[in-house]
Structure 1
Amino acid sequence: MSELEEFRAAKDIFFRDDPQSPLLSSARREFTGLAYYPPQPLLSFVVIPEVFEEPETLEMQTSDGQVREYQRWAALHFLVEMTAQTLTLYRDPEMGHLFLPFRDATSGTETYGAGRYLDVPETEDGRLLLDFNYAYHPYCAYNENYSCPIPPPENRLPVAIRAGERLPEDAPAH
């Protein structure tokens, strides 16, 4: 089993069995696993972040109308379908981790309409692994009681990122 397959299997167990699962108990009883795109090696990139000299604070809207503050930390440049793309990577000032909220051409049809997230771990050599195979839906995609940051306009890609979590084939788009 690959690292990605192990990650996905562990996430399914968490969603089904853990009391902290975002699924309501009725949904957990019927849960058979999250829907994913097949692994896409061409949507995994090692990037050198273009770190902003003076990170700005951005108030990101959330799904329940609140705002959360994030620092605009770096620009990430990569190619999808031979087209240059750029996303802004944020730092959560409370938790300190790097956070990449994004929307793409699949949002609202094949994936959750408000967008998906990607956690980006820092490395010692300054490069980052931007692996969209680990892209995931926010908890508010599964339970409206969660407050989830909505990807800002600067993180809307015109291309389709067909990697990571997706809506089930029979799910209505939302």
Structure 2
Amino acid sequence: MTELSPAPAARVGDVTLSLLGWRRQVAALYAAVRAAADPETGWRTWRDGRDELFAGHPDSPLDRSARADFRGLPYAAYDPALRFEVVALPAESQRLEVPTATDGVVPFDRIGAVELEGIGRLDLWWLGSYGGGLFLPLRDGSAGTSTYGGGRYLLDTVKGADLGGDDERLVVDLNFAYHPSCTYDPRWSCPLAPEGNRTAAPVAAGELLPPGGWERTPSPSPLAGSG
């Protein structure tokens, strides 16, 4: 019997349709978080769902060798004190032009800020290209030790990472802090936390690095209009 090779992934330009599938599943995962009976249950759903995506999806940021040994992403225990419902505060306008791995150079406009107890003020960024979306990165005092040196993401709504809220308030839950794709493999280019999204306070919540870090973790590049 002739063994058939798997069909190549369908492509639109330089992007495979499997990437659309990844984003669709991430959006569904965050929808389940918002619908959960309580925040910690939602967090467990999110954690388990991310493990499934990282282990089995063709667009996992883990390379094949890392996937073969994958036993789950490490996280700090859930801390309900690190969940906030906050209003957006005014901030001076600023634009950053950020190269990314899949979307080319994209503009981010500072549209406001949030104030988190024990953390301080963090800038809110709006994706200025088609469709828009809110982006909230964080580089805290754990960066370079227990978390990636370039920081983590809290919200990235264009990619589905949206914890909810209403017309007046945002849900910002530090337990949902997660690493960008460039943490695991340098083929990814990710926007990192600019100056207004950095704090010296360590955040003992969210996704952590495994002992010794990921084998292919690159050095962070600054987000001075790049990433």
Shorter-chain TM-score: which interval? 0.7 to 0.9
CA contact (8 A) 1:77 1:87 kept: yes
Number of residue-to-residue matches in the alignment: 168
Q: Deviations over 1:80-119 (max 9, x none)?
A: 1xxx600001111234221111211000001001111111
Point out which structure has higher relative CO (alpha carbons under 8 A, 6+ apart): 1
Q: State the secondary structure of the residue aligned to 2:51.
A: helix
Note the aligned Cα RMSD (angstroms).
2.4
Q: Give the Cα–Cα distance (whole angstroms) in 2 for the partners of residues 15 and 51 of structure 1.
A: 37
Unaligned 5+ segments in structure 2 are 1-39, 157-161, 220-227
Structure with bigger strand share is 1
In the alignment, what sits opposite 1:106?
A: 142
Q: Which amino acid aligns with 2:172?
A: L
In the alignment, what sits opposite 2:72?
A: 33
TM-score (norm 2): 0.67
Question: Does the C-alpha gap of structure 1 residues 61 and 150 become closer, same or farther in structure 2, counting only changes over 3 Å?
Answer: farther
Q: Give the Cα–Cα distance (whole angstroms) in 2 for the partners of residues 150 and 68 of structure 1.
A: 13
Identical-residue share of aligned pairs (%): 39
Aligned runs of 1:19-168 on 2, under 5 Å? 19-52=58-91, 55-60=93-98, 68-80=106-118, 85-94=120-129, 95-119=131-155, 121=162, 123-168=165-210
CA contact (8 A) 1:15 1:28 kept: yes
Q: Which amino acid aligns with 2:116?
A: F
Q: Which has the larger radius of gyration?
A: 2
Question: Does the C-alpha gap of structure 1 residues 61 and 135 become closer, same or farther in structure 2, counting only changes over 3 Å?
Answer: same
Q: Give the Cα–Cα distance (whole angstroms) in 1 for the partners of residues 194 and 212 of structure 2.
A: 28
In the alignment, what sits opposite 1:18?
A: 57
In the alignment, what sits opposite 1:7?
A: 46
Unaligned 5+ segments in structure 1 are none
Q: Which amino acid aligns with 1:78?
A: L
